[in-house]
Amino acid sequence: MLLELNVKDFALIEKFSIKFHEGFNVLLGETGSGKSIIIDAINFLLGGKFNKNFIRTGEGKAFVEGIFTIENIEAKKILDDLGIEYEDVLIISRETYKYGKSIAKINGKSVILGSLKEISKTLIDIHGQHENQNLLNNSVHIQYIDYFAKEAIYEVLKEYRIKYYKLKEIEKNMQYLEEKKQDDFRKAEFLKYQLEDIEKADLKAQEEEELLERFKLLNNAEQIENGLSNCYNILYNSNDGYNSVYDSLNLVIKTLSNLEEHNKDIKRIKDSFEEFYYIIEQNVHDLVNIKDNISYDKEELDFINERIYFLDNLKKKYGESIEEILNYKKQIEKEYFDIQNREISIDKLVKEKEHIEEELKLLSNRLHDIRLNISKTLESEIEKEFTYLGLEKVKFKVDIKCLDQFNENGIDKVKFLVSTNPGEPLKSMEEIVSGGELSRIMLSLKSVFINKDNVDSVIFDEIDNGISGRIAQRVGHKMFLISNKKQVFCITHLPQIAAMADYCYVVWKEVINDKTYSNIKLAEEKEKVEFIAKMLGGLETTELSLEHAEELLNIAKESKKKLVS
């Protein structure tokens, strides 16, 4: 419930703070006084679209704050999800600057506009010309009937939509794969050629390094062989009267062996020479092996040259090294595998699509049956409300037809049909409904739906369009009945509706020093009588119009007693 509204520099409002009450509240005032501005301020507070004209002329920003009681569970759940602390009241504020910056807060915590709109849906339901136009839009009628069905349809519709969105995802993937088919064919041929080219090369990880090493060896075989032979001769062969290194070292070791017992240092030196001796022996053995393996082989050298040339060309195509080529091969193997398996994926998706469509068919049939059953109840209840509001000759029917394709609501197309006169065929409301009839139909729908939602407050913006007299009195009665369950706000020009209100707020406009100001106040009983008298009698308030106003208020009091008894 809206307890208090604080507004500053909003349109024609400089500043005001007004407290509201539970029950039936009406906003009264002459045309252009600013009644709709107050509704605009509430709508803006709740996340409605900003208009630059909302900022008062000469000011830098507009500010609106509302204080609400929170009683419904849905609102509390949203606050918990947003991490906002709360007790019994909720303070929402929104301010927007001329240059575009906007700040919204809930209980002092900044929130995004989406969060503000989400919580607002649980607080106030605003009905004006936009909502009336919605009623003429056949595409939203299915939402009305589903809203009326509530628990009976909720779980089935939830399950259906999960599967429906899954179907859309499958169809999207299938379309993507089908579009890729032609490109895939060309790409697969190219990848196949590359794979065969690389596989034919029979690459090995360290091959290039080994080939280069072998190439250097073979290319310098004669020089290496001569050098190694010289080394061998120096180390092992005696010539020209000189002992070899090997023989000389052996002689030194024998001599030191005879002397080592006389001096421990001689033994240490002898041991070192022995170690050198065995190292030389091993190295000479290795030199011989190398020498034996590097005999010049022209055919092998030519093969290595050709292989290195081949690998260089392969690197130009697939990578800067054999390692990169092998990595590239793994990559294109995966691409080729994926392409080959896309056809399998399409077949799998087709089967999955068929399975989900079967499930959707069953669920959509259940939705259809629920809507058919609930539509009879809705038709009956709406026509009862029609009768109460003076539309007893109007017939109302929910027309439900099955479509060929699934949509997010099932396979149903729902349209509200009315016949305003006996003998006239049922037609869509946009064809025949007048302004007064449309307002009463909307009020009838709200009266039926009132027990279906958890919103604490309802605003009717000029619901009295096109009605008067006895019908206006009935509309006033209906709003009073709604106000026993919800806090109701109504902008009205009709005294019959104003008289039924529990609280009347007077809105007026005044000009001070060439500046226009809109103001609002709670009317006292005497002011209420005077204002209703003006509504009855025009510009001048007469004794007769005052008596008529008091009589209307007394009749309203008696009607209220009867309505709640």
Averaged pLDDT of the chain: 86
More confident residue, 181 or 204: 204
pTM of whole model > 0.85? no
Q: What is the DSSP letter of 261?
A: G
Going by C-alpha positions, the residue among 384, 396, 470, 469 that lies closest to residue 433 is 396
Residue 555 has pLDDT above 60, yes or no: yes
pLDDT tens-place string over residues 207-232:
888 888 877 767 666 667 677 777 77
The pLDDT value given to residue 130 = 58
Residue 511 has pLDDT above 80, yes or no: yes
The pLDDT value given to residue 230 = 77
The pLDDT value given to residue 253 = 83
pLDDT tens-place string over residues 170-194:
999 988 888 777 777 778 888 889 9
Residue 432 has pLDDT above 90, yes or no: no
pLDDT range class, residue 137, cuts 50, 70, 90 = confident
Q: What is the DSSP letter of 542?
A: -
C-alpha 83: how far from its chain's center? 19
Q: What is the DSSP letter of 56?
A: P
Q: Which residues pair with 13 in a beta bridge?
A: 10
The helix/strand/coil state of 97 is: strand
How many angstroms separate the CA atoms of 86 and 290, rounded? 89
Residue 18 has pLDDT above 90, yes or no: yes
Distance set, CA 296 to CA 172, 213, 288, 510 (Å): 67, 14, 15, 115
The pLDDT value given to residue 239 = 64
Kindly state the average pLDDT of the residues 397-404. Answer: 94
How many angstroms separate the CA atoms of 530 and 541, rounded? 7
Q: What is the DSSP letter of 291?
A: H
Long-range pairs of 161-167 with CB within 8 A, sequence gap ≥ 24: 161/408, 163/356, 163/359, 163/360, 163/363, 164/360, 164/406, 164/407, 164/408, 165/408, 166/356, 167/353, 167/356, 167/357, 167/360, 167/406
Residue in the block written with tokens 């009935």? 474
Most confidently modeled of 172-176, 357-361, 508-512? 357-361
How many angstroms separate the CA atoms of 530 and 299, rounded? 122
Domain ranges of the chain: 1-123+456-565, 130-364
How many angstroms separate the CA atoms of 52 and 102, rounded? 12
Going by C-alpha positions, the residue among 124, 102, 111 that lies closest to residue 49 is 102
Going by C-alpha positions, the residue among 412, 409, 368, 406 that lies closest to residue 168 is 406
Residue 166 has pLDDT above 80, yes or no: yes
pLDDT range class, residue 246, cuts 50, 70, 90 = confident
Topology adopted by domain 1-123+456-565: Rossmann fold (3.40.50)
In contact, 23 and 69? CB cutoff 8 Å = no
Kindly state the average pLDDT of the residues 508-537. Answer: 90
Which residue stretches of 150-219 are H helix? 151-201, 207-219
The pLDDT value given to residue 377 = 93
- 378: burial class by Cβ within 10 Å (0-12, 13-18, 19+)? buried
pLDDT tens-place string over residues 79-129:
888 899 888 899 999 999 988 889 999 999 999 999 999 998 888 888 765
The pLDDT value given to residue 219 = 67
The pLDDT value given to residue 340 = 77
Kindly state the average pLDDT of the residues 344-369. Answer: 93
**pLDDT exceeding 70 applies to what percent of the chain?**
94
Q: Which two tokens stand for residue 113?
A: 């506009």
